[in-house]
């Protein structure tokens, strides 16, 4: 069998995307100049002068780029000059620069290879500063984000959106205003009606959030763009409150089905951890049922269960898109319930953790070890949280 796809809900994807982008420490890096001819034993450093065109107090800081130049042994930075916004406008026009801050490098730039810098006349120019930046065409700062966190305070089990907000801030997204609004307040009711919000909690951004590539690249998959320019997060992580029904969805019931006569069988509780880790599932109740009990016999017959230990999850698991998409590879859906049937897929997990998968075949009565052929046929490690 093939390994289940490592999918999580769209909000987790958003968080992952933010973490990946924020890992960049500098906006560009320098490479060693490549001479046209074979380099002599001693090459004098290239002398360059750097001009920093400032944008605004809120604009991103690109001064770290200057340090990157200075650290290059093949370069000698003879001058660094910073120019204020008003003075920078004229120079920006001369070099056809559309946003500030920017950097202009002059001097011995022949054969100087610098990522993200483009040659314009007698200079190398860096003009792709991340937001917030000053847009010279519109004469305003772009990338100043306002954020409204809309939630129902009575929903104690709902997903905590502060996790996403924290990731946004760590990704250097400039949130200049953050407001918490209760959906039951007059303001909250107005927002729910205005944007036809169906699930809570959610986030509402101003259009400036789309200045950040990490949001722009995924927004069509996770949210909507409203006529007034606002951005509304639509796919929220369960558990969430269904606005139309007033009920909390995504709290999953978990039933462990075991055979107490199998002392060596694996502990089915590992499945809970795997589901939590891989799909961020929230469980609100658990119970353990033995196959010899009346309820156990009913479950075995109802869901045609052959291998134990196993688990049955309630229909609420259907609120997790990643789980639903992958479930056919590890189990079946029976009358709304999610039944884990392909126990041998756990072999990879036990191999990695240094254990041995042992389970029981109820049809044959055989206790199967992870070293057996039956287990080896499905050598799949359940998905782990993506980094």
On whether both 361 and 318 belong to a single domain, the answer is yes
On whether both 108 and 171 belong to a single domain, the answer is no
DSSP string, 345-386: GGHHHHHHHT---EEEETTT-PEEETTSHHHHTT--PPP---
On whether both 348 and 368 belong to a single domain, the answer is yes
Q: Is 265 helix (H, G, I), strand (E, B) or coil?
A: coil
On whether both 118 and 155 belong to a single domain, the answer is no
Model pLDDT for residues 266-311, shown as the tens digit of each residue? 999 999 999 999 999 999 999 999 999 999 999 999 999 999 999 9
Model pLDDT for residues 23-40, shown as the tens digit of each residue? 333 333 334 445 555 655
Of residues 25 and 17, the one with the higher pLDDT is: 17
The pLDDT value recorded for residue 36 is 58
Model pLDDT for residues 81-93, shown as the tens digit of each residue? 999 998 899 999 9
On the question of pLDDT at 22 being above 70, the answer is no
On the question of pLDDT at 188 being above 90, the answer is yes
**Residue 2 — very low, low, confident or very high, per pLDDT cuts 50/70/90?**
very low
297 falls within a domain = yes
**Residue 263 — very low, low, confident or very high, per pLDDT cuts 50/70/90?**
very high
Number of domains in the chain: 3
2 falls within a domain = no
Which residue(s) pair with 124 in the sheet? 105, 119
Alpha-helix runs per DSSP H in 118-255: 162-170, 186-194, 213-216, 219-222
Token readout for 209 is 């959030």
| Parallel/antiparallel/unpaired status of strands 202-205 and 145-151 | antiparallel
On whether both 80 and 116 belong to a single domain, the answer is yes
Quote the CA–CA distance of 231 and 173 in Å, as a whole number: 15
Rg of the Cα atoms in the chain? 29
On whether both 327 and 274 belong to a single domain, the answer is yes
Backbone φ and ψ of 255, nearest 5°:
-115, 120
What's the mean pLDDT when you consider all of the chain?
Answer: 86
Task: Give me the mean pLDDT over the 70-87 stretch.
Answer: 91
Model pLDDT for residues 201-230, shown as the tens digit of each residue? 999 999 999 999 999 999 999 999 999 999
On whether both 132 and 188 belong to a single domain, the answer is no
Residues 311, 269 contacting (CB under 8 angstroms): no
Task: Give me the mean pLDDT over the 156-172 stretch.
Answer: 93
208 falls within a domain = yes
Residues 103, 65 contacting (CB under 8 angstroms): yes
387 falls within a domain = no
Q: Which of 365, 369, 304, 362 is nearest to 337 (CA)?
A: 304
Residues 223, 232 contacting (CB under 8 angstroms): yes
pTM: 0.76
Backbone φ and ψ of 82, nearest 5°:
-110, 130
Residues ≥6 apart with Cβ < 8 Å to 164: 11, 14, 15, 203
Domain limits for position 299: 250-376
Q: Which of 97, 116, 138 is the last residue of a domain?
A: 138
Task: Give me the mean pLDDT over the 56-76 stretch.
Answer: 87
Backbone φ and ψ of 379, nearest 5°:
-85, 80
151 falls within a domain = yes
Crossing angle of helices 162-170 and 10-21, in 10° steps, is 20
25 falls within a domain = no
Quote the CA–CA distance of 253 and 144 in Å, as a whole number: 42
Residues ≥6 apart with Cβ < 8 Å to 162: 149
Task: Give me the mean pLDDT over the 156-165 stretch.
Answer: 93
Buried b / exposed e over 132-151, threshold 16 CB at 10 Å, is bbbbbeeeebbbbbbbbbbb
CATH number, domain of 163, equals 3.40.30
Residues ≥6 apart with Cβ < 8 Å to 5: 325, 326, 383
Task: Give me the mean pLDDT over the 142-169 stretch.
Answer: 95
The pLDDT value recorded for residue 301 is 96
Distance in angstroms between the alpha carbons of the first and the last residue of the chain:
24
Quote the CA–CA distance of 253 and 304 in Å, as a whole number: 20
On whether both 238 and 261 belong to a single domain, the answer is no
Q: Which of 242, 276, 302 is the last residue of a domain?
A: 242
Model pLDDT for residues 222-261, shown as the tens digit of each residue? 999 999 999 999 999 999 999 999 999 999 999 999 999 9
On whether both 337 and 277 belong to a single domain, the answer is yes
**Residue 116 — very low, low, confident or very high, per pLDDT cuts 50/70/90?**
confident
From residue 354, give the alpha-carbon distance in Å to each of 2, 348, 349, 351, 370.
22, 10, 9, 5, 12
40 falls within a domain = no
126 falls within a domain = yes
- Around Cβ 69, how many Cβ atoms within 10 Å? 17
On whether both 257 and 363 belong to a single domain, the answer is yes
Model pLDDT for residues 337-387, shown as the tens digit of each residue? 999 999 999 999 999 989 999 999 999 999 999 654 443 343 334 443 333
On whether both 69 and 159 belong to a single domain, the answer is no
Q: Which of 138, 162, 191 is the last residue of a domain?
A: 138
On whether both 266 and 363 belong to a single domain, the answer is yes
**Residue 20 — very low, low, confident or very high, per pLDDT cuts 50/70/90?**
very low
């Amino acid at each position: 069998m093939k390994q289940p796809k490592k999918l999580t809900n769209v909000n987790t994807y958003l968080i992952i995307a933010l973490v990946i982008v924020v890992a960049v420490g500098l906006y560009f890096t320098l490479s060693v100049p490549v001479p046209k001819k074979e380099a002599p034993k001693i090459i004098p450093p290239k002398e360059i002068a750097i001009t920093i065109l400032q944008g605004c107090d809120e604009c991103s800081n690109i001064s770290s780029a200057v340090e990157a130049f200075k650290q290059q042994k093949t370069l000698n930075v003879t001058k660094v000059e910073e120019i204020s916004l008003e003075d920078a406008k004229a120079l920006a026009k001369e070099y056809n620069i559309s946003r500030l801050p920017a950097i202009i490098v002059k001097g011995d730039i022949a054969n100087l290879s610098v990522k993200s810098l483009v040659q314009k006349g007698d200079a190398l120019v860096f003009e792709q500063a991340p937001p917030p930046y000053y847009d010279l065409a519109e004469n305003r700062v772009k990338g100043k984000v306002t954020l409204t966190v809309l939630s129902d305070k009575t929903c104690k089990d709902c997903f905590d959106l502060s996790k996403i907000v924290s990731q946004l801030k760590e990704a250097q997204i400039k949130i200049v205003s953050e407001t918490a609004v209760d959906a039951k307040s007059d303001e909250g009711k107005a927002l729910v009606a205005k944007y036809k919000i169906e699930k809570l909690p959610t986030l509402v951004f101003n259009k400036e959030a789309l200045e950040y590539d990490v949001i722009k690249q995924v927004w069509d998959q996770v949210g909507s763009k409203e006529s007034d320019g606002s951005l509304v997060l639509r796919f929220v992580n369960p558990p969430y409150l269904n606005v139309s029904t007033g009920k909390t969805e995504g709290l999953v019931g978990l039933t462990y089905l075991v055979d107490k006569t199998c002392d060596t069988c694996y502990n089915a509780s590992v499945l809970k951890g795997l589901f939590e880790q891989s799909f961020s599932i929230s469980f609100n109740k658990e119970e353990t049922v033995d196959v010899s009990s009346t309820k156990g016999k009913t479950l075995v017959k109802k869901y045609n269960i052959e291998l134990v230990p196993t688990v049955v999850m309630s229909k609420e698991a259907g609120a997790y898109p990643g789980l639903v998409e992958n479930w056919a590879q590890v189990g079946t859906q029976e009358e709304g319930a999610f039944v884990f049937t392909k126990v041998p897929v756990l072999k990879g997990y036990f191999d990695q953790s240094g254990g041995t998968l042992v389970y029981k075949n109820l049809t044959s009565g055989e206790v199967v070890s992870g070293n057996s052929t039956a287990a080896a046929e499905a050598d799949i490690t359940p998905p782990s949280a993506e980094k």
